[in-house]
Amino acid sequence: MKIIICGAGQVGFNIARHLAMENNDVTVIDQSPELIRRVNDSLDAQGIVGHASRPDVLERAGAEDSDMIIAVTQGDETNMVACQVAHSLFEVPIKIARVRHQSYLDPAWANLFSRDHMPIDVIISPEIEVSRAVSRRLKVPGAFEMIPLVDDKVRLLGVRCDANCPLVDTPLKQLAQLFPDLNLVVVGLLRDNHPLKLSGNDHMLVGDDVYFVVETSQLPRAMAAFGHEEPEAKRLLICGGGNIALLLAQEIEREYPWISAKVVEASADRAAVVASILSGTVVLHGDVLDPEILDEANVSMTDTVVAVTDDDETNILASLLAKRHGARRAITLLNKGTYEPLITTLGIDVIVSPRNITASTILQHVRRGNIHAVHTLREGFGELIEAEALDTSSLVGKPLKEVKLPNRVMIGALVRGGEVVTPRGNTVIHDKDRVVLFAAAESVRKVEKLFSVRLEYF
């Protein structure tokens, strides 16, 4: 595919890296010569310095024969106008825009982004996506990742093996024997932040990060098998009062009335705005790094602290201070990937990456074949994919033990007629089955082909 990406910041660069690795023809536009130099030096992509919404710049980027434009600059208006120009002047078929300001996303103005007005096919709101990601993690204490798939019939869980994990030193091939009635498949394993190529003889060690797919109804049993039976949070402290914090607090008031939440915001004006919008949440004005403010927020009795300010260093320090003062769990927002390898050694429980979350949402619309959902797991680790099997696919009609899967691809679950099927060697994939699998970064393109309609089908 020929794809134009407007914006070379964290999100734009990350998407360009993903797409360029898969041999797409990628062009990136940004006003910053420094960011464009980074694109040209680091990626197999073309970088152009210029204003992303201007017709002459889009023409230089090859908009006339492009398949898609992805507008993720810092300005909502620039992103929207870039998509409008790409549609009106160059007839680019697929237009994706990042829109941050919540006013544009109000359901009352939903008609704004129709084909007759501002023809944008997909609107991405990082703040909404990140607040949802934090909310998902609150539902399963003890997991650093939780992703619902196939109408929430199955879930991917990410857990860290600690000294209390009963499965430490157990070969993966023995899991089915130990838990014959538990529909659970380990699809990924990281040791010291390095992915392992899984085999049945591999076993988990203390400190490993394990990703597994499990039937949703069996989630409590699965977490108990890994030694995680933490109670759900009832007291929550949110550090920061920006859009993510506000959206999260609103969802908690709406969906989880039994949770007592507090928000700490450094700006007096912003704290007043947040307090005026929220009804059942205490809003404190102060510095999240001030011990007196933490005491006032009663952090020692807090189950979970969620640090979502717009500064990574503040989020890290606030999380560590809160845990030192007695908070049981910390969820920390990190924009910079450089900090991620340090986090587990510091004692932070969960990292939320807006960069990866936004990229996942966009990649879902880029993927070809009958692919319904895509979630990026860790930087450069791989993707969790939900796809529909087609009658023409080489996956269909024969036992899995006879199917030659691409390198480092693990099938985690099948859903057939609303029923979850745990894949074993003798399992046969049928036409229309929903398949949940993990694919290492280098195998994603091959997975796309497995779920594409072949020409001989017609």
Whether residue 61 is found in the same domain as residue 16: yes
Whether residue 85 is found in the same domain as residue 55: yes
Closest CA to 99 of 29, 14, 7: 7
| Whether the Cβ atoms of residue 218 and residue 152 lie closer than 8 Å to each other | no
Does 157 fall in a domain? no
Whether residue 272 is found in the same domain as residue 256: yes
Whether residue 347 is found in the same domain as residue 377: no
Q: Which pLDDT does position 113 carry in this prediction?
A: 80
User: How many angstroms separate the CA atoms of 237 and 35, rounded?
Assistant: 36
Q: Which pLDDT does position 241 carry in this prediction?
A: 94
For residue range 247-296, list pLDDT tens digits in order: 999 999 998 888 999 999 999 999 999 999 999 899 999 999 999 999 99
CATH number of the domain residue 285 falls in: 3.40.50.720
Whether residue 312 is found in the same domain as residue 408: no
Does 219 fall in a domain? no
Burial level of 270, CB count in 10 A (0-12/13-18/19+)?
A: middle
Q: Which domain holds residue 426?
A: 357-457
Among 352, 383, 404, the domain-final residue is 352
Query: In this model, does residue 458 exceed pLDDT 60?
Result: no
Does 363 fall in a domain? yes
The token pair that represents 298 in the structure block: 């009663």
Work out the pLDDT band at 424, boundaries 50, 70, 90: confident
Query: In this model, does residue 457 exceed pLDDT 70?
Result: no
Whether residue 318 is found in the same domain as residue 393: no
Does 141 fall in a domain? no
Whether residue 365 is found in the same domain as residue 430: yes
Among 124, 157, 187, the domain-final residue is 124
Whether residue 318 is found in the same domain as residue 363: no
Whether residue 348 is found in the same domain as residue 242: yes
| Whether the Cβ atoms of residue 438 and residue 383 lie closer than 8 Å to each other | yes
Does 195 fall in a domain? no
Closest CA to 175 of 164, 163, 187: 187
Does 159 fall in a domain? no
User: How many domains are contained in the chain?
Assistant: 3
- Global model pTM greater than 0.75: yes
Burial level of 88, CB count in 10 A (0-12/13-18/19+)?
A: exposed
Which residue shows structure tokens 């870039």? 82
Among 124, 157, 177, the domain-final residue is 124
For residue range 320-371, list pLDDT tens digits in order: 999 999 999 999 999 887 777 777 678 888 989 888 888 888 887 877 668 8
Whether residue 363 is found in the same domain as residue 421: yes
Whether residue 96 is found in the same domain as residue 10: yes
User: How many angstroms separate the CA atoms of 230 and 74, rounded?
Assistant: 39
CATH number of the domain residue 442 falls in: 3.30.70.1450
Does 181 fall in a domain? no
Does 93 fall in a domain? yes
Which residue shows structure tokens 């964290």? 10
Whether residue 6 is found in the same domain as residue 119: yes
Q: Which pLDDT does position 347 carry in this prediction?
A: 80
Work out the pLDDT band at 110, boundaries 50, 70, 90: confident
- Quick one: three-class SS letters along the chain? CEEEEECCCHHHHHHHHHHHHCCCEEEEEECCHHHHHHHHHHCCCEEEECCCCCHHHHHHCCHHHCCEEEECCCCHHHHHHHHHHHHHHHCCCEEEEECCCHHHHCHHHHHHHCCCCCCCCEEECHHHHHHHHHHHHHHCCCEEEEEEECCCCEEEEEEECCCCCCCECCEHHHHHHHCCCCCEEEEEEEECCEECCCCCCCEECCCCEEEEEEEHHHHHHHHHHCCCCCCCCCEEEEECCCHHHHHHHHHHHHHCCCCEEEEEECCHHHHHHHHHHCCCCEEEECCCCCHHHHHHCCHHHCCEEEECCCCHHHHHHHHHHHHHCCCCEEEEECCCHHHHHHHHHHCCCEEECHHHHHHHHHHHHHCCCCEEEEEEEHHHHEEEEEEECCCCCCCECCEHHHCCCCCCEEEEEEEECCEEECCCCCCEECCCCEEEEEEEHHHHHHHHHHCCCCHHHC
Rg (alpha carbons) of the chain, rounded to whole number? 23
